Amino acid sequence: QQQQQQQQQQQKNSQQPPANSTSQQPTANEKNTPTPPTSNMASSGGNVSIDTNLYSRQIGTYGMETMGKLMQMKVLISGLRGLGAETAKNLILAGPAAVVLHDDGVVEMKDLGSNFYLSESDVGRRSRAEACEAHLKELNPYVTVSVLKGPISADVVKGLSCIVLSDTADAEIKRLNAITRAQSPAVGLIVADTFGVAASVFVDFGDDFVVRDKDGEECRSAIVAGITQENPGVVHTHEGRRHGFQDGDWVTFTELQGMTELNNAPARQIKVTGPYSFTIGDTSGLSPYLREGIVTQVKVPTPLKFRSYEEVMKQPKAPNEELPLPDLAKFGRSEQLHFAIRALQAYRASKSELPPTRDEAAATKCVQLAKEINAATKKEGGMALDELEDDVIKKVAYWSRCSISPMCAFLGGVVAQEVVKMTGKYMPLHQVLYFDMFELIPKTLPADWQPLKSRYDDQIAILGKSFQQRLSKLNIFLVGAGALGCEYLKCFAMMGAGCGGTGKVTVTDMDNIEISNLNRQFLFRQGDVGQPKSLTAGRAAKAMNKDLQIHAMEVRVGPDTEETFDDQFWNETDVVVNALDNIQARLYVDSRCVWFAKPLLESGTLGTKGNVQVVLPFLTQSYGDSQDPPEESIPLCTLKHFPHAIEHTIEWARDFFEQLFVEAPREVNTFLSDAPAYLAKLPSEGTGTFQLAKMTVIKRALEQRSGRYGVCVDFAVHEFQEKFHDSIAQLLHTFPLEHRTSEGALFWSGPKRPPQPLKFDPSDPLHLEFVQAAANLYAANLGIPQERDTETIARLASQVKLTAFAPKEVQIKVDDKDTTREGCLDDDEKARNMIQEMQALGARQKASTHLTPAEFEKDDDSNFHIAFIAAAANLRARNYKITEADFHKVKMTAGKIIPAIATTTAMVTGLVGCELLKILDLKTRKVEDFKNAFATLALPLWVLSEPMPPLKTVSKDFDPIVQGPVKAKPEGFSSWDKILIDKGDCTLGDFVDCLQDDHGVEVVILSVGNACLYNSFLPAHRKRLKEKVTKIWEDVTKQPMPPKKSYLTIEVSASDAEDGTDVMIPTIQFKFR
């Protein structure tokens, strides 16, 4: 975290295809070329229309402005081995205007080990660019994909936004860099390569690049509690919530009373002095601060000057910056790799090729060249090292011709994200990254490394033929076939994992494919929408490598499917790879891996952030050993009466949707099913106000269901009046603007923003949006045909008669600690009278058909669900003078959509792929060979570190829970340890005696999951000691023992048999079969 904070502080494109292009804009009639799907389009603010269904998760990361800029970019990718293919795939999914492929090299068999779009039929027949073109076109119908043959001319460069080069000679890089820098604005240049298990990236965006948003994080805001008049002035924020600002942030002020000179003034840079305070420079000459105010972070454009490739090769460190250090255990490695890779380029310049694989003479020559380059740059005043590490240089040289899938996936994600940064979103790499996974190299280099003319030759060159054979026999369980799952399947197919002998990849996912998946789950196409993810992904991965042995399932992994994923299944599994999107499922899979002592590769993404956790039996923490803190919840009173942020109004609107169109129709249906029972139970539920509201909803729905669409508009207008006028007016009646608390402070201050009622106006677009959405949703509930013509709805709305607001004497809670019983006292009597009225209505409506509750669906913009929530949220924001939100922000927040992009997914997959290769030699490896990872492509930042050891349970002299000493037996056991009791289907008494005789503990409480089998404090449980443990389990759980189950997982609370001290022991595996 400290390193991340430090690095955070440091840190009219042509629409015509380039000349010499062999293919142009694809048409709908071309074979294998998709047409854009029918979906909702939105404007980015310019002339670009954006498919918000396809790009919804990406928009959640980038925002509409960046998407608009990205969709005008034209990018050339030169070099289509594994890295080029990964970059092209990630970039096309992101959605630029055009991607031009450039690689005249003829496909070789070994290319199939990293380029997933090549096939054996392409070998020796087609260029890599031509062989990839059709497949890449299928990824995104909005992107023009073409092939450039021959050299990259200056005229070609002029029509581009950015060029990505790989497998390119030094002289050609310098030639193209001179051309890109000469353009106005400069054309971006990215040079990236993988050399076996080493990699490098160089970025140049010209002399005058501007970063609009360095980190992509949403701007924070805080409520001002005070500002001092001094130099520097100190701002104090409301103590209800930490301000969350960082040193160097820029902020602006609004709504200040006193010190009004700061309101809407130019942004000021801050220095943080505490979680609730910061300084803003000299305020001594300003008027005194009185009260109120909002401070908001703003994004200030950051100019960034890039140097040329030639300059950076001499001095890779920018002024006042250090080279990125991805692996905390490899201090100084980036500098060593810099000279190793420069030596490779020098070797290529003299020999017209990279060093041959495992050629000792060539590697020695590279060491000599590196030393000569180091000496020369020292004389020129560039970066020079006191000592070069021969071993590092040789490891790069030995396998410089090799391209393996995990390294390509990692770097392909990084490089594609750097291309996106040409839009000005996020901090570009400034300017080089060096990375290695030397841990993959065997301690003793394999003797069986010679090429076999197979797709795995590059991998065999590093790891050996026997390793490859063991890899092919690996039995992998992949949980999830979404974005990560698709990438993992591709990775397994490329590496040959589960591709031979008894090897197999089992993948399971219950979900079907949706349009929004197509933007990052690259194995799916438009025609696959509605199909099962696991089956479709399995077929697509097998098409990449026919030898992949895959078993696709549509079964959820959880306690209810343990008969499917039984002991035999887990025992036969070699490694588990999680590709899940929820914590509960992750924890369950992790618990299974801990129980069966199986390695687990855990990973996740959130926008530009990604993480990898390696879970190794008895060597590392499990996933469940450490968890993120819970998300902050919004206090109920804040939602109901006192919102002060747009997130509060969106959450309120989501609840409002649920109440009106889901819960209300269900209440009606419950009433229709058995009115007497419903009305008999109602008096025990809540206040009279609450009961009256329920019955009013039911009565209204039953009376209006036979009407025409006009009753739906009437309903919507009255809901508007109630929520955005009357309830606000009532709140102000109860707590007038001048109201003061018992302490004498103004009630409406700090986080309590004084609201204002809204008068319904059918000519106001937002008012009409609410009425249209609410009326159509209500019509769907009632079974009345919907109306989408806004003029008709506006006309009907203008005819609705509204009654003037009359205040009531009501009780309202002022915060969540308030014990006041909310509601109107007069409503109790009204509720009792209405129950009598409803009894007659229930008798009349007994045979009526039920209403149709809404089922919330966030990804269908035509169903009015998000439209209603957006309108309601923004109307409430107007009530409280909160800045309104655009439709997509509401969609992301209300739908709890996790921002996701293909680049982060690919990067994480590459890191996991490397760890999978290490797991194959787990028995001979040390834990420090493995790498957990945290990365954020926005900054950019990579932090690789050794996995943490397992948490140990140890004895304590005083435990705060038991209020006394606690013993651990055995001392220092972890979650990986368990006690095996293998005495057959024995009695509980025998089980208890076994624990006392073999482990010296007396059983106090014995449980399996939530079922308590024995409690020594309960006399009635004594008779259970004579019964079999399995029978007790069946009696308590009221279910038969599953036929495949051979053991119970038992947790025991115990005490020491000698001195009675509380004892903690590992989980018990009671084997009864």
Catalytic site residues?
Answer: 637
- Asked if residues 495 and 917 have their Cβ atoms less than 8 Å apart, the reply is yes
| Residue 608 main-chain phi, psi, to 5 deg | -85, 0
951 φψ region: left (φ > 0), alpha (ψ -120 to 50), beta (else): beta
CA diameter of the chain: 100
H-run or E-run covering 371:
helix 360-380
Residues written for the chain: 1073
Nearest-angstrom CA–CA distance, 659 and 674: 21
Compute CA 497 distance to the chain's CA centroid, rounded to the nearest angstrom: 26
Nearest-angstrom CA–CA distance, 1005 and 981: 17
Quickly list DSSP for 308-340: -HHHHHH--SPTT-----SBTT-TTHHHHHHHH
Give the DSSP letter of residue 184. Answer: S
Q: Is 1005 exposed, middle or buried (0-12, 13-18, 19+ CB in 10 A)?
A: middle
Nearest-angstrom CA–CA distance, 1072 and 982: 7
Compute CA 22 distance to the chain's CA centroid, rounded to the nearest angstrom: 38
Compute CA 449 distance to the chain's CA centroid, rounded to the nearest angstrom: 39
Q: Which residues contact 1037 (CB under 8 A, 6 or more apart)?
A: 1008, 1011
- Asked if residues 866 and 894 have their Cβ atoms less than 8 Å apart, the reply is yes
Nearest-angstrom CA–CA distance, 83 and 192: 8
Q: Is the dihedral of CA 296, 297, 299, 300 positive or negative?
A: positive
Nearest-angstrom CA–CA distance, 707 and 138: 49
Which two three-digit tokens encode residue 971? 């001392």
Beta-strand relationship, 98-102 and 74-78: parallel
Neighbours of 16 (CB within 10 A): 10
Quickly list DSSP for 106-165: BP-GGGGGT-TT--GGGTTTSBHHHHHHHHHHTT-TTSEEEEB-S---HHHHHT-SEEEE
- The Cα-based distances of 253 to 227, 293, 294, 646 in angstroms read 11, 7, 6, 17
Compute CA 818 distance to the chain's CA centroid, rounded to the nearest angstrom: 37
Nearest-angstrom CA–CA distance, 238 and 226: 9
Note if the bond before 232 is cis, omega within 30 degrees: yes
Note if the bond before 36 is cis, omega within 30 degrees: no
Quickly list DSSP for 966-1022: EEESSTTB-TT-EEEE--SS-BHHHHHHHHHHHH-EEEEEEEETTEEEEETT-GGGG
Q: Which residues contact 140 (CB under 8 A, 6 or more apart)?
A: 92, 93, 95, 518, 519
List the 144-147 sheet strands across, edge first: 144-147, 98-102, 74-78, 162-165, 188-195, 198-204, 432-436
H-run or E-run covering 177:
helix 170-182
Q: Which residues contact 314 (CB under 8 A, 6 or more apart)?
A: 377, 380, 382, 383
Decide: helix, strand or coil at residue 196: coil
